[in-house]
Amino acid sequence: MALTPFLCNFAAVKRIRLFLRVLLLVFAMMTVSGNADAQQTVGNDSLRPISIDEPIDEDSLLAARMAGVEVSLLTCSPHEEVYSLYGHTALLITDRMARRQWVFNYGVFDYRKPHFVWRFMMGQTDYRLESTPALLAWCDYYRRWGSSVEAQVLDLTPREKLQLQTALAENMKTPVYRYNFFFDNCSTRPRDIIERSLDGTVSYAERPGYEPTLRQMVHECTGSDHRWAAFGNDLLLGFRADQKTTQRERQFLPASLSWDFDHATVVRGSDRRPLVLRRVTLIPQGQQTVKQGFPLSPLACTLFICLLIAAVTGYELHSKRQQVWFDGVMMLLTGVAGCLLTLMFFSEHPATSTNLQVLLLNPLALLFLPQVIRRRKTLWWKLQGVCLLLFLLGALVQDYAEGLEFVALFLLIRLYLTHYHDQ
């Protein structure tokens, strides 16, 4: 019974403590709710949802998206490999915000495919577009060869950058294209896709007094260190390669396209802006080692043939005996080479048709060869005389491979002395 007042007091204390806890909890909740209402009131403008009917500034969003994107034209100087004597061009997309760089290369081919050389000569070679994120490795390849790599950063609007990226993505879906050395190659393709992506037209500055032919531009690349490469090119190129080029045709060479881009402007209405924002040297020009090829030049070899023709002809006049074996060898060599040139008439390369060198390297010689060897009467000598005269006259309108004019002249003199002099 003595514990009853104590228990009653203890129960009362517990009720009071519970009441105080509930009171503190309610007060705390009211405080938090009040702070939230105050924050919502203060930041009402920034937190309110955007209305569906409110216009969105797409240009601002696009500008923010493309703020760190740069588009550059890469130009690589030539090096000693035959396929790189003319330089190379590619596109570089740099996204600084994403810290990514992509190289788009239109010059990829597979020389291991069956009949690659034959298909290349006939203009039936397929190249493809490839992209790689390894810019450093790509540049390092040219550094090892001693070639320079220049980047021309283009002055493009955000919308033009997006249009170019979209066009490249579409190209990657069908990357293979039919390559043409002069008119559709790794230099003209980047130019074309850039021009199509612009909201305006490109105006290229003219070079006063600079109107080379395609053959002359090829000679600028081969130079004196690759005379046999120049000889092979000149042998296959026809009359079309000796006509004056337009500025657009000259852009098949990467160096020529790079010069034109440096001096080009984008025109849209009354607005004009430079196409190139700035130029950056990624890899400086290094030292290149010229490989030693065949020790004799094409001119030296053709002059040797001329001396051989003169020596055999002199022996024939002295001995009064025709050396049929020599005529047979010359007819066989010129006839086989003539078959190759005749096939080039059917090539998809526009610059190989109408090649007047077929008058000297004549495939018809193979048809008359049996008659000449058997010493039978033949029309070949008259036909050869007419063809040689036309060949020499054709030198006025077409540049021939080095030294062939001398060979034609010596053959014509031999023909006159051995077959028409007595008559």
Mean pLDDT within 194-215: 94
Question: Lowest-pLDDT range, 241-255, 285-299, 367-381?
Answer: 285-299
Q: Examine the pLDDT at 146 and tell me if it is beyond 50.
A: yes
Question: Lowest-pLDDT range, 9-23, 73-87, 206-220, 332-346?
Answer: 9-23
Tell me, what's the pLDDT at 4?
42
Note whether 85 and 108 are within 8 A (CB): no
Tell me, what's the pLDDT at 23?
53
Q: Is the pTM for the entire model greater than 0.85?
A: no
Q: Examine the pLDDT at 403 and tell me if it is beyond 80.
A: yes
Q: How many angstroms separate the CA atoms of 240 and 356, rounded?
A: 11
Mean pLDDT within 381-388: 96
272-278 CB contacts, 8 Å cutoff, 24+ apart = 272/203, 273/155, 274/155, 275/154, 275/155, 275/202, 276/73, 276/152, 276/153, 276/154, 276/155, 277/153, 277/154, 277/155, 278/152, 278/153
Q: Examine the pLDDT at 236 and tell me if it is beyond 90.
A: yes
Tell me, what's the pLDDT at 29?
53
* DSSP symbol at 79: -
Give the pLDDT confidence of 83-133 residue by residue, as tens digits. 789 999 999 999 988 889 999 999 998 877 777 777 877 888 889 999 999
Mean pLDDT within 154-160: 94
Q: Examine the pLDDT at 253 and tell me if it is beyond 90.
A: yes
Tell me, what's the pLDDT at 223?
80
Residue 244: beta bridge partners? 213
Question: Can you state the angle between helices 365-373 and 324-344, rounded to 10 degrees?
Answer: 170
Give the pLDDT confidence of 7-45 residue by residue, as tens digits. 344 445 455 555 555 555 545 455 444 444 444 443 444
Tokens coding 297: 């030049």
List CB contacts of 2: < 8 A, sequence separation 6 or more.
none
Tell me, what's the pLDDT at 32?
42
Tell me, what's the pLDDT at 19?
54
Residue 69: beta bridge partners? 95
Q: Examine the pLDDT at 353 and tell me if it is beyond 90.
A: no
Q: Which helix (H) or strand (E) holds 277?
A: strand 276-283
Confidence at 334, pLDDT banded by 50, 70, 90: very high
Mean pLDDT estimate for the chain = 85
Tell me, what's the pLDDT at 36?
42
CA dihedral of residues 113, 116, 119, 124 (deg, nearest 10): 50
Give the pLDDT confidence of 49-94 residue by residue, as tens digits. 434 344 445 667 777 777 889 999 999 999 888 778 999 999 999 9
Confidence at 422, pLDDT banded by 50, 70, 90: low
* Share above pLDDT 90 across residues of the chain, in percent, rounded to a whole number: 64
